[in-house]
Chain A
Amino acid sequence: MAPLVSRKTLIGGMTVIGLVALWFGLTTLTGLVTGARFPSPAEFWFSLKQINGRGYAGSTLASHAVHSLKLVLMGFTVAVMTGVPLGLWMGWSRRVEAFINPVFLIIRPIPPLAWIPLAILWLGLGDAAKILVIWFSAFVPSAINAFTGVRNIDKPVLEAARMLGTPRWRMVREVILPASLPMIFTGLRLSLQASWTTLVAAELVGALVGVGFVLNMAQQDIYPGMILVGMVTVGILGWATTVLLARIERRALAWNVAARD
């Protein structure tokens, strides 16, 4: 007879309950961890109410979150729209690869976050600088994985398509793109992760609105409750976008047996 809940869920649930109890115990009950180090549940709740009602760092949590989400989606989209086609092209043509690869090799070792000061110099503290930095950071994983995807296509598949006289455009649309799609999605996942990291960093360095800005203000005000609110928001946003991408992936790759498990 199968148990009502799996062992995993049971232990996981108990862990979460245990952690909350530990949190409550260490802060409110015993005061071992003071509010200056880590907020108690009550302080966290108070901060959450404050930012949702009166607002903090210029606006409410919802508008900070929406602003950050918008920037990530815009930067991510620009990166994917440029990175994937370039990667596919480099995978398709050895000439293009040979031409672009050395430039890639020079630029790639520079961590995305290192572009932040330059982006601020060029475009200031507004949205444009953030989108630029997200683009730089999310572009590379998209391009590299699309490239690998094309290179890993079974040679017989391409030869068969070519032998049957498939025209160029149909070749790209019906052979190359679908065959490299699993790798492309791997790249998109990495790009999305990079987008969030870069945006939060860029907003911490300089911004006027956004979850990173909330974190920055809370740090300057030495306000642990609000820091925790900011971190939880970052986590939820990152989780939600990842889940959304996974949904899209499952739908796009419904034909792919390997991706099903």
Chain B
Amino acid sequence: MTSPPLGFRETMLLGLAGLASFIGLWSFLSGSGIVPAQFLPGPLDVASRFIHLLTSPFAGATLPAHLASSFQRYAYGVLLAAAIGVPLGLLMGFFRLLDDIVTPIFDGLRFIAPIAWVPFAALWFGTGIGGPIMIIFAGAFPPCLINAYRGARFVEPRLIEAARMLGTPSSRMILEVLLPAAVPSIIAGLRVSAGLGWQSLVGAELIVAAAGVGFMMVQAQGSVQTPTVMAGMIAIGIVGMLIDILLRQGEGWLRRRRGLES
């Protein structure tokens, strides 16, 4: 708290002024010809191209169709990352031997940017749907694993001791003690994963794909269609934002249901 919060009106006015100067500067740069309109189309051009792309195809499909094929890969990749990362993380949190074995491998791979897997992904799974899924997986996997692991490791020891004293077998311990206790951490990890996965998807499609928004943008870049490139960026931004909002809602709902916040 550095200065007292502004009133609602002042915040709105300043925010609008900020937006107006952003759009004004953008329009000025392209309209006045300081930057050639071919490279920086004005906001209206981009908006009209966006609407145009909704119905007429570019690079083989309309924008919604490109988005749909992107989203399909994305969903597979993130689900796969969650399906492997979360259980593995829980098991690592419970069995120390597994932890000691997996951690060095994981630490070694951690510093390789997910996007650097592109050549092997293309080689192993092709450029259709398999390759991009692997890249998304590489981007989304670490937070799934780390958060499930942390969630399981930092369960209150008393709970584990009580369960152990009552003779709970390992399988039930993981499913009925560690998993429920780790849920908030896991959900937070999934949200990070979802964001990173979406980023990786864009990267993957720029390099290897024959459909999808990223592919559309590369094609547009090749034929110097800047408005289409920018429309693609906007579409990617909107979908990414929707995913984040949905997951935030889900997280909030879950936390409320478990009485973690009111």
Contact = CB atoms under 8 A, between A and B. Distances in A.
Contacts of B234: 110
Interface stretch (A40-48, A54-62, A216-224, A252-260): A216-224
Contacts of B17: 99
B104 to A, nearest CB: 4
Interface in B227-250: 229-230, 232-234, 236-238, 240-241, 244
A200 B241 contact: no
A187 interface: no
Contacts of A7: 100
Interface residues of B, number: 62
A153 B232 CA distance: 39
Given A204-B207, A205-B207, A235-B111, A222 B199 contact: no
B114 A98 contact: no
A242 B111 contact: yes
A211 to B, nearest CB: 8
Contacts of A103: 18-19, 22
A97 to B, nearest CB: 9
A164 interface: no
Interface in B119-145: 119-120, 122-124
B233 A114 contact: yes
Given A117-B217, A215-B118, A99 B100 contact: no
A122 B2 CA distance: 40
A49 B229 CA distance: 41
A200 B113 contact: yes
A200 B109 CA distance: 15
A115 to B, nearest CB: 7
A110 B213 CA distance: 13
A173 interface: no
Contacts of B100: 7-8, 11-12, 15
Contact of A12 (B4, B5, B104, B123): B104
A224 B113 CA distance: 18
A72 to B, nearest CB: 11
B136 to A, nearest CB: 12
Interface stretch (A24-32, A77-85, A88-96): A88-96
B212 to A, nearest CB: 12
Contacts of B115: 113, 197, 200-201, 204
B18 A99 contact: yes
Nearest to B100: A11
A121 interface: yes
Given A94-B5, A101-B15, A121 B39 contact: yes
Contacts of A99: 14-15, 17-18
A87 to B, nearest CB: 13
B50 to A, nearest CB: 14
Given A98-B15, A115-B233, A117-B218, A109 B108 contact: no
Interface of B: 1-6, 10-11, 14-19, 22, 39-40, 97, 100-101, 103-105, 108-109, 111-120, 122-124, 198-199, 202-203, 206-207, 214, 217-218, 220-221, 224, 226, 229-230, 232-234, 236-238, 240-241, 244
27 contacts: A8-B100, A11-B100, A37-B124, A92-B3, A93-B3, A94-B4, A94-B5, A95-B6, A99-B14, A102-B19, A103-B18, A109-B240, A113-B202, A114-B214, A121-B39, A153-B2, A196-B113, A197-B203, A200-B113, A201-B203, A204-B203, A218-B119, A219-B122, A222-B123, A227-B123, A234-B113, A238-B113
Given A118-B229, A218-B119, 4 more contacts: A99-B18, A118-B230, A234-B112, A242-B111
- The 6 lowest CB-CB distance pairs between A and B, nearest first, are A219-B119, A98-B14, A117-B221, A238-B111, A11-B100, A109-B237
Interface of A: 7-8, 11-12, 15-16, 19, 36-38, 91-95, 98-103, 106, 109-118, 120-122, 150-151, 153, 155, 158, 193, 196-197, 200-201, 204-205, 212, 215-216, 218-219, 222, 224, 227, 230-231, 234-236, 238-239, 242
